[in-house]
Structure 1
């Protein structure tokens, strides 16, 4: 397994495996879906190691990561206690999937200490850690549009991005407009 490079790609790919209101299917619905995702991301050894018993734990970690990313987006529907509980879940998983430091003349990287599926989850955790160490972790967010919650990298200058696309931003604005409009007729 290759250690992460400080890129958000693996974290985004992992977080964006959930179903949404737009027709995106749940990628971790069963072991076949988990194995397919692992292979798509170059984690063949982990795919061979994955079992049906692993699916719930992987999905739980993914959901915790998405909740943390909603915290980065300041989602009004996600309170501080929910984000703190998700952070605790991530810490518990991280304790079971240790990382080691790999130092060479090009720098230092974090790598999983375990092979197989634990190593693949370690890679996701290493990528999250490296993003935090580079100051980029807070730019990895989840869309505040409730049916979407798609993870994205906020490239705005002032890190104020809250939606993955203008389409999601427009949906939220239209729902707010309709609520206001319906409330003015009472």
Structure 2
């Protein structure tokens, strides 16, 4: 046997998953998470916390709005991975179209090396961050891991997570969300029986 890179288990998140999840898990929810892209200052703080070298004065309200739009489109695609029954095909097509538009505004450059290849954003600043997220999504898709990134089907949550189940069947970010959905369904059945 040759000495090469150790094979990674398909149940282990590959490189880049953290970046995508950090980006998509910036929305507010009923569980207490706050909007991380609410304005230019909030986006600048998120960029700093995630080691993106962008000066505060370079971040604009338009950048925050663009970050929210890209994030929301990606969450829709992750909900599609979770087979969310409340999601219609039109919403998925709109999200795919939006991501495609963002990709045309933030082009990537292939960097070819003897030991592999990667995609790097052509731009710097906030546009470079969007390019980095899209480059990572592309590499995850090529590796087969993209569909294991999902958004929790629990309506108030929609937290992004990496599905570590062997058969790729997880649809909730954790047991608490699964329990909430089960309890809501139980209450609805009881209410319907009583009515």
TM-score of the superposed pair, with normalisation by structure 2: 0.90
Aligned to 1:23: 32
Kindly provide the CA deviation profile for residues 40-64 of structure 1, in whole angstroms up to 9, marking residues without a partner as x. Answer: 1110236552112211111111111
Within 5 Å, which residues of 2 pair with 1:51-130? 51-130=60-139
Distance across 1 between alignment mates of 2:57 and 2:82: 35
Find the structure with the greater CA-based Rg: 2
SS across alignment from 2:176:
helix
Unaligned runs of 5+ in 2: 1-13
What do the CA deviations read for 1:9-30 (whole angstroms, capped 9, x no partner)? 1110000000001010000111
CA distance in 2: counterparts of 1:153 and 1:98, whole angstroms: 26
Where 1:100 maps in the other structure, the secondary structure is: strand
Structure 1 residues without counterparts, runs of 5 or longer: none
Note if contact 2:153-2:171 (Cα within 8 Å) is conserved in structure 1: yes
Contact residue 29 and residue 157 of structure 2 kept, 8 A? yes
TM-score (norm 1): 0.94
> Partners of 2:140 and 2:192 in 1: how far apart?
43
- CA 1:102/1:30 → structure 2, altered by over 3 Å: closer, same or farther? same
Runs of 4+ in 1 over 3 A off after TM superposition: none
> 1:44 aligns to what SS in structure 2?
coil
Q: Distance in 1 between matches of 2:115 and 2:46?
A: 30
The question of whether the paired residues in 2 share the 8 Å contact of 1:140 and 1:154 is answered with yes
Pair 1:147-2:132 in alignment: no
Per-residue displacement from partner, 1:70-121 (whole Å, max 9, x unpaired)? 0110001111111111010000000100000112233111100111111110
Structural RMSD (CA)? 1.2
